[in-house]
Amino acid sequence: MILSTKNQGISESLTLSIDAKAKKMLSEGHDVIGFGAGEPDFPTPDFIIQAAKDALDQGLTKYTPSSGTLKLRQAICRKLERDNNIVYTPDEIIVSNGAKHSLFNIFQALLNPGDEVIIPQPYWLSYPEMVKMADGVSVFVNTREDNYFKITAESLKKAITPRTKALVLNNPSNPNGSVYTREELEEIAQAAVDYGFFIISDEIYEELVYDGMQHISIASLDERVKNITLTVNGMSKAYSMTGWRIGYTAGPKEIIKVMGNIQSHSTSNPNSIAQYASAVALEAPKDCISGMVREFDKRRKYMADRINSIPLLSCRLPKGAFYIMMNISQTFGKRYGDKQLDGSLSFADALLDSQKVTVVPGIAFGADNYVRLSYAVSMETIQKGLDRIENFIKELI
Ligand code: PMP
Ligand code: GLU
């Protein structure tokens, strides 16, 4: 049996599989602490759930326009103008089945075989796989921990070739927690304008910024930047709606149209009930978000302090999202029992086996000196999990 050679080269999403493993172990009664989860632990706010019930009562249970209802696309336009200072019309918006699907459609719409996509490293693990699925080539640009894993315009320029088609900018970033300033964005945007490639701006963690940082949408810088940018966002992280599967893209009409055609033959419209509830969510005051952000902020500080107090481990205090990249490189060469630690996979394996704590090995993000911990879990879980990590480190020989 011969399967598609291209698609056999696509790996499973390790973030999803680690999360699934932790959830399964928990349901089987194991005392596991899951730091793998990339999803808020809060329930979806009540008024959004109520809106979904209203949609059902109103019989909104049929196909909608494939690219999303006008009502939701209008609500997204208002949100982008109000929060992000970018003006779009509904025909410049497409709603998809989660931001992951938005990104998939973008790569399908933009890339020809061999087109290069610049991806800052460490990167969210789905980008290179999506580029591969669209016959593109990922070009990784290394970043430095002491620059909070942010690319600079200088390092970006070195990676540009005549085949460069796009840059993926994840701001705030998963897994790094970095947030770009206006000045940094201006320099990056200028390079994209000068060399003529697209910017795919993944802003799914927009609402989760700390220490007074302000999230800036790169498309808001000026009209030239807006014309080459696809802004991606969604309901999953800001509204704790991971299971509802609503994401969206704003960008030039011609690209949105191609994405819409692809979507019309692959998935049709995103769920009608979730679309209705998302429009209600986007039009409402954002109090429900600020409560979550305050809680994430407390956990972030606690987790970073604890990590930095444990010998052989260290981290930067992230400025956004809900992840910490924990530097584990000083543990390499040590052993836990008969297990030799020589990279993020062996570290994560030994930690799970001995302490029942799941983390995501950094190698999945192109950063083997790190493991990623999510603080989208309760404070109590974080405390317990870090106690276990501390014990693990004490037992290394
Ligand atoms: N981009 C990044 C950086 C993410 O971490 C995620 C998390 N799943 C997504 C996009 C996609 O989110 P969703 O498909 O749930 O909207
Ligand atoms: N984005 C989240 C994470 O990185 C959820 C899992 C996924 O979609 O890959 O953990």
Report helix, strand or coil for 374: strand
Please, are residues 247 and 99 in contact by the beta-carbon 8 Å criterion? yes
pLDDT score, position 320: 98
Task: Please identify, by atom number, the ligand 1 atom nearest to the C-alpha of residue 100.
Answer: 14
pLDDT score, position 17: 83
Residue partners of 294: CB distance under 8 A and separation at least 6: none
Q: Which of 12, 16, 204 to mutate to test the pocket of ligand 2 (most atoms within 8 A of CB)?
A: 16
Residue 237, CA atoms < 13 Å, CB-side half-sphere: 27
Written as six digits, the tokens of 76 are: 């997204």
- Is ligand 2 within 6 A of the CB of residue 278? no
- Is ligand 2 within 6 A of the CB of residue 38? yes
Walk me through the domains of the chain, giving residue ranges and CATH numbers.
5-43+288-392 (3.90.1150.10), 46-283 (3.40.640.10)
Distance CA 141, CA 73 (A): 34
pLDDT score, position 21: 82
Minimal CA–CA distance to 118: which of 135, 142, 145?
A: 142
pLDDT score, position 50: 98
Distance CA 194, CA 396 (A): 51
Please, are residues 235 and 241 in contact by the beta-carbon 8 Å criterion? yes
For residue 83, what are the CA distances in angstroms to 216, 217, 235, 326, 370?
9, 9, 14, 32, 34
Please, are residues 59 and 271 in contact by the beta-carbon 8 Å criterion? no
Written as six digits, the tokens of 119 are: 């991806």
Give just the sign of the alpha carbon dihedral 355, 357, 363, 369: negative
Peptide bond into 172 cis (omega under 30): yes
19 CA to middle of ligand 1, Å?
14
Return per-residue pLDDT of the chain as tens, 397 residues: 899 999 999 988 888 888 888 888 889 998 999 999 789 999 999 999 999 999 999 999 999 999 999 999 999 999 999 999 999 999 999 999 999 999 999 999 999 999 999 999 999 999 999 999 999 999 999 999 999 999 999 999 999 999 999 999 999 999 999 999 999 999 999 999 999 999 999 999 999 999 999 999 999 999 999 999 999 999 999 999 999 999 999 999 999 999 999 999 999 999 999 999 999 999 999 999 999 999 999 999 999 999 999 999 999 999 999 999 999 999 999 999 999 999 999 999 999 999 999 999 999 999 999 999 999 999 999 999 999 999 999 999 9
pLDDT score, position 268: 98
Q: 271: phi > 0 → left, psi -120 to 50 → alpha, else beta; which?
A: beta
Task: Please identify, by atom number, the ligand 1 atom nearest to the C-alpha of residue 102.
Answer: 14
Task: Please identify, by atom number, the ligand 2 atom nearest to the C-alpha of residue 360.
Answer: 10
Strands 164-170 and 198-202 come out as parallel
Measure the CA dihedral 221/222/227/231, to 10°: 20
- Is ligand 2 within 6 A of the CB of residue 90? no
- Is ligand 2 within 6 A of the CB of residue 170? no
Q: Please, where are the H alpha helices in the chain?
A: 5-8, 14-27, 46-57, 70-84, 99-110, 126-133, 153-159, 182-195, 223-226, 253-266, 272-283, 287-309, 344-355, 379-394
Q: Which of 13, 14, 15 to mutate to test the pocket of ligand 2 (most atoms within 8 A of CB)?
A: 15
Residue closest via CA to ligand 2's atom 5 equals 38
290 CA to middle of ligand 1, Å?
20
- Is ligand 2 within 6 A of the CB of residue 16? yes
Distance CA 104, CA 127 (A): 9
19 CA to middle of ligand 2, Å?
9
- Is ligand 2 within 6 A of the CB of residue 174? yes
Written as six digits, the tokens of 215 are: 């999230």
Minimal CA–CA distance to 18: which of 332, 383, 357?
A: 357
Distance CA 56, CA 50 (A): 10
Distance CA 36, CA 383 (A): 15
DSSP string, 131-153: HHHTT-EEEEEE--GGGTT---H
Predicted structure pTM score: 0.97
Report helix, strand or coil for 112: coil
Ligand 1, residues at Cβ distance < 6 Å: 38, 98-100, 124, 170, 174, 202, 204, 234, 236, 242, 247
For residue 81, what are the CA distances in angstroms to 219, 235, 285, 356?
11, 17, 15, 45
